[in-house]
Amino acid sequence: MLEARGLTKRYGGFLALDRVDFHVRRGEILGYLGPNGSGKSTTVNTVVGLIDPSAGSLWLDGAPIADDPVAYKRRIGYVPEEPHLYTHLTAIEYLTLVGRLRGQTEQTLATKIPAMLQLLLLWESRYATMAAYSKGMRQRVLFAAALMHNPDLLVLDEPFSGLDVTASLLFRTLLRLFAAGDRMVLFSTHRFDMVEKLCSRVVILSKGRIAAERDMAAFREGRAESLEDVFVHTTGQDDFTPVARQILDLMQP
Amino acid sequence: MTNMPKVRLKPDTTLFADWRRRFTERAEWRLTEHFFRAMFDFGFLNDLAADSFKRVLIGSIGGFVAFGFLLTRAYMIKYALLWSSGNSEMYRRALLGDDMTIIGLPMLLVAFVTLIVSQSLFPDERDFRILGPMPVRRIVVFRAKLTALLMFTGLFTAAAHASLVPLMILTSMNPWGDTNVILRLASWAIASVTASAFAILTITAVVGVLVLALSRSRLQALSTVMRSAVLGSLVVCLPLVSHLPTLGGPLSRGERWMALVPPAWFLGFQRLMQGSTDRALSHLAIVGMAVFLVVAAVVTATYVILFKHFERLMLRPAPMSPPWWRINRAPLLSRVAPQFRGVSGFTMATLTRSDLHQGVLVGLSACGIGLATIFLTSSIRLSITASIVPFLLMFACGVAVRAALALPIEHRANWIFQVTEDHATRRDQMRAVDRVVLMYVIGVPVVASVPVLWMAIGEDALLAGVVVASIGLVFAHAVLLDWRRIPFTCSYLPGKRFIGHSAIMGFAACLLFTVISSGLVRIALVSVNQGLVITAALLIIGYWLRERRLVAWKRTPLMFEDEFPDQLLQLQL
């Protein structure tokens, strides 16, 4: 189980995360929902070790990750929000680089990379540098890079942006099967539909704090108000009709 | 009476403001402005680094102005001597060489500048994708790109010529009343601007042919290599330009090989405008005009072809087979650590494909070749210059490889190195950097200088080569001093130190290194035993330093964000 205990992050005077607690159990996909600027990406960056928290800690299977951050990093796979990768490399070269950095043998890479590219429909473009790839193609490369080393925990930051319908369906199924294999997924997004279809639980973040935490079964069985309603109430979102009207007015010549 | 000008001026000002507003609000102007600004944006600097880069740019302009004054001061002494000699023929000969230099210097500068922005010379795929869906006609995009290019190169052309005007006025003065200063200045301005335009067009033609001939991905590496080759050639031209003042004699004798020196063509053009009837100079002018027209035709043709087939050229399908140099490539040995192989492969792929990184590597290394050329063509004995050349090259290669590896390629993509950083394998990752640096700072100077050493000292060149390689092993430590980055993954802040300070320190370090190292080579060549002792000592020192470095790398975390020195500037002399 992954646990965040009192996770806090300050940037100068700005408090991006304020004593955030959550946990992801094995076999679970945890939805991490929040409006822009709520602290989702800060949480994700802290969880994958790109930034250090100002206070609080992360625990994996009962041990603080600060004790052995390298061992922890070996067990996670990460798909960032924007497909930032080295576009002067081909997909094969990039996956080889990632595999080598993670210490995988040449034999393993020679088997896994071609198979992964074929399954992700990137095989035809294998000789082109990724500069020529669309956003969706780059996102698929990032998925492949995150999965190749068989991680325990998958951290996804808006992973479906840019993916076409087929790829989205494929990855949804893949994530379900991945989690079912006694592994964990932290799924940060602002899309309700994805959370409703994929996640077992959802944590709603607002202004750097946990605003709500719900079991998704209750929504699916109709025992609770909709996720959108919970989100609107807990994050203090207003009725957007006046703003929408103002925009339409502005459009007039 | 006092009110009248106000009454007259008011509508004029409004008209001008109105015209200005209408002009600047046009899509074409907006696009031109955007393309012009993009020429100053190298794409790899973050906001902090961009500010720092501006300081470097201002410092460089200051340096350029100072160089102009220094040149004028040096020529004052030369011309005072010529005027006092009473020999008008000598003055005329010197003037031919100096005029050629004054034309050649801006040519070289604008060629450099054009090559640096060569990525922006033609509308590219990004322009196609972003501007394609906008309600802007393609002709407007092309016109804006051309106008931005003209503005950018025009800026540098104007600055280069303005800084040379005092020198031109100085060289025009003479006690024999040989020239009309105004006519001379005007003809120089026309000829020299034409020469600079020729330099711009030549670079544009080369880039244009590359854009049309090479597909987006397959031959990207070849395109990069060709650009770097042009850059290297331009740097090597620097010492040749410094020899131009000595070519007054061959020019006045009308020697035929002068037709191979481009500034001579435009000097012929200048003299033709001044009314010269010299046949050799007229011939040079004709050659220059012919070549100018050919290059201009190539550039026009490239723009027209690109304009007509923009979609087809920009949206070429991705290659379906590997390039020929990768077919049947043998698999790598499996005993090497994967992390070493990962960083090594990434470094080589980036140096092969990135214009910027390869350009920095080749350009700075070519400075060493340029310096070596100056020494080799000087009147100093070959046996002395041959022992200096390897170390000039080594120093330049060291600076070049460090600078190239320090520049980021896609800074935001470095998260993959951050999330996989592991103290247990860091040594292997950094060993890959160590290998690249060692191969470059030892390999290039040894291969390039052994033939020169052979010509100078015969068979002893082999022993000298071994000593040079051993010195390289020690020098690599200086190149990698304080280094704790995976190549191309750390942000970069240019101008961390005052540019003058860096230049003085660099010059002093180069001088010290060259003097000590060439001294060591000469001592080693006294006897074979002495040579072997020195080599052994250097190898031991080099090995010890390398081991120390690898141990230190294992302990120190990698650096992903560049930092300004947190202490006040100290000269550290």
What pLDDT digit, counting tens, does each position of B327-344 carry? Answer: 555 555 557 889 999 999
CA distance B322 to chain A (A): 6
Per the CB < 8 Å rule, is B412 touching A50? no
Question: Bridge partners of A17?
Answer: A9
* pLDDT of B568: 46
Q: How many other CB atoms sit within 10 Å of the CB of residue A37?
A: 12
- Provide the residue type at A221 as one letter: E
Per the CB < 8 Å rule, is A88 touching B420? no
Under the banding of pLDDT at 50, 70 and 90, the label for residue B493 is confident
More confident residue, A70 or B25: A70
Per the CB < 8 Å rule, is B345 touching A145? no
CA distance B208 to chain A (A): 20
User: Which of A74, A101, A129 has its CB closest to that of B416?
Assistant: A101
Chain A residues with CB inside 8 Å of B343's CB?
101
| B420 CB within 8 Å of a chain A CB | yes
Q: Which pLDDT tens digit goes with each residue over B72-110?
A: 888 888 888 888 887 888 888 888 899 999 999 999 989
Mean pLDDT, range B395-415, rounded to an integer: 92
* pLDDT of A141: 94
Q: How far is CA B237 from CA A8, A199, B14, B205, in A?
A: 58, 65, 51, 19
User: Which of B322, B420, B429 has its CB closest to that of A73?
Assistant: B420
Q: Which pLDDT tens digit goes with each residue over B135-146?
A: 778 888 888 888
Per the CB < 8 Å rule, is B416 touching A82? no
**Token representation of residue A228:** 């959108």
Asked if residues B564 and B492 have their Cβ atoms less than 8 Å apart, the reply is no
Nearest-angstrom CA–CA distance, B161 and B189: 8
Chain B residues with CB inside 8 Å of A149's CB?
none
The residues, ordered by sequence, that sit 6+ positions from A158 with a Cβ below 8 Å of its Cβ are A81, A188, A189, A190
More confident residue, B125 or A47: A47
The residues, ordered by sequence, that sit 6+ positions from B194 with a Cβ below 8 Å of its Cβ are B266, B269, B292
* pLDDT of B373: 84
Under the banding of pLDDT at 50, 70 and 90, the label for residue B5 is very low
Residue B18 has pLDDT above 50, yes or no: yes
Per the CB < 8 Å rule, is B217 touching A49? no
Q: How far is CA B350 from CA A68, A126, A141, B245, B357, in A?
A: 32, 18, 19, 40, 7
Q: What is the average pLDDT score of chain B?
A: 83
Asked if residues A138 and A159 have their Cβ atoms less than 8 Å apart, the reply is no
Q: Do the strands A29-33 and A201-206 form a parallel or antiparallel pair, or are they unpaired?
A: parallel
Unique residue bearing structure tokens 């070269």: A93
| A104 CB within 8 Å of a chain B CB | yes
CA distance B221 to chain A (A): 10
Per the CB < 8 Å rule, is B216 touching A131? yes
Chain B residues with CB inside 8 Å of A73's CB?
419-422
3-state secondary structure B203-250: HHHHHHHHHHHCCCCCCHHHHHHHHHHHHHHHHHHHHHHHHHHHHHHH
CA distance A125 to chain B (A): 6
| B218 CB within 8 Å of a chain A CB | yes
- In the stretch 345-404 of chain B, residues with CB closer than 8 A to chain A read 345-346, 349-350, 353-354
- Provide the residue type at B120 as one letter: S
Per the CB < 8 Å rule, is B323 touching A127? yes
* pLDDT of B572: 42
End-to-end CA distance of chain B: 68
Q: Dmax over Cα atoms in chain B, in whole Å? A: 98
Residue A118 has pLDDT above 60, yes or no: yes
Per the CB < 8 Å rule, is A87 touching B410? yes
| A50 CB within 8 Å of a chain B CB | yes
Q: What is the average pLDDT score of chain A?
A: 88
* pLDDT of B573: 39
| A84 CB within 8 Å of a chain B CB | yes
Q: How many other CB atoms sit within 10 Å of the CB of residue B271?
A: 23
Per the CB < 8 Å rule, is A124 touching B409? no
Per the CB < 8 Å rule, is A100 touching B342? yes
More confident residue, B470 or B122: B470
* pLDDT of B182: 87
Residue B476 has pLDDT above 80, yes or no: yes
Under the banding of pLDDT at 50, 70 and 90, the label for residue B569 is very low
CA distance A106 to chain B (A): 7
The answer to which of A39-53, B241-255, B507-521 has the lowest mean pLDDT is B241-255
CA distance B246 to chain A (A): 46
**Rounded percentage of chain B residues whose pLDDT exceeds 70:** 86
The number of C-alpha atoms within 13 Å of A148 and in the hemisphere containing its C-beta is 32
Q: Which long-range contacts (CB under 8 A, 24 or more apart) does B435-440 make?
A: B435/B344, B436/B344, B436/B347, B436/B348, B436/B401, B436/B405, B436/B487, B437/B398, B437/B401, B437/B402, B437/B405, B437/B476, B437/B479, B437/B480, B438/B472, B438/B473, B438/B476, B440/B397, B440/B400, B440/B401
More confident residue, B406 or B218: B406
More confident residue, B136 or B454: B454
Mean pLDDT, range B122-128, rounded to an integer: 75
| B339 CB within 8 Å of a chain A CB | yes
Residue A12 is classified by DSSP as T
More confident residue, B449 or B64: B449
Q: At what angle do helices B47-85 and B138-172 cross, to 10 degrees?
A: 30
Q: Dmax over Cα atoms in chain A, in whole Å? A: 64
Residue B570 has pLDDT above 50, yes or no: no
Chain B residues with CB inside 8 Å of A96's CB?
342, 345
More confident residue, B127 or B289: B289
CA distance B122 to chain A (A): 18
Under the banding of pLDDT at 50, 70 and 90, the label for residue B3 is very low
* pLDDT of B2: 42
| B331 CB within 8 Å of a chain A CB | yes
Residue B520 has pLDDT above 90, yes or no: yes
* pLDDT of A59: 93
- Provide the residue type at B390 as one letter: P
Unique residue bearing structure tokens 């992973």: A159
| A67 CB within 8 Å of a chain B CB | no
Closest among B148, B157, B229, B216 to B189, alpha carbons compared: B157
* pLDDT of B44: 58
Write down the ipTM of this complex.
0.86
Burial B474-502 (b: 16+ CB within 10 A, else e): bbbbebbeebbbbbbbbbbbbbeeebeee
| A79 CB within 8 Å of a chain B CB | no
Per the CB < 8 Å rule, is B338 touching A104? yes
How far is C-alpha B136 from the chain's CA centre?
Answer: 35
| A98 CB within 8 Å of a chain B CB | yes
Residue A42 has pLDDT above 70, yes or no: yes
Nearest-angstrom CA–CA distance, B303 and A99: 43
Per this entry, what is the length of chain B? 573
Under the banding of pLDDT at 50, 70 and 90, the label for residue A125 is confident
CA angle A246, A248, A253 (to 5 degrees): 110
| B316 CB within 8 Å of a chain A CB | no
Mean pLDDT, range B40-68, rounded to an integer: 67
Q: Residue B308: left (phi > 0), alpha (psi -120 to 50), or beta? A: alpha
3-state secondary structure B50-95: HHHHHHHHHHHHHHHHHHHHHHHHHHHHHHHHHHHHCCHHHHHHHH
Q: Which pLDDT tens digit goes with each residue over B251-294?
A: 888 888 888 999 999 999 999 998 888 888 999 999 999 999 99
Closest among B291, B41, B300 to B146, alpha carbons compared: B300
Residue B334 is classified by DSSP as T
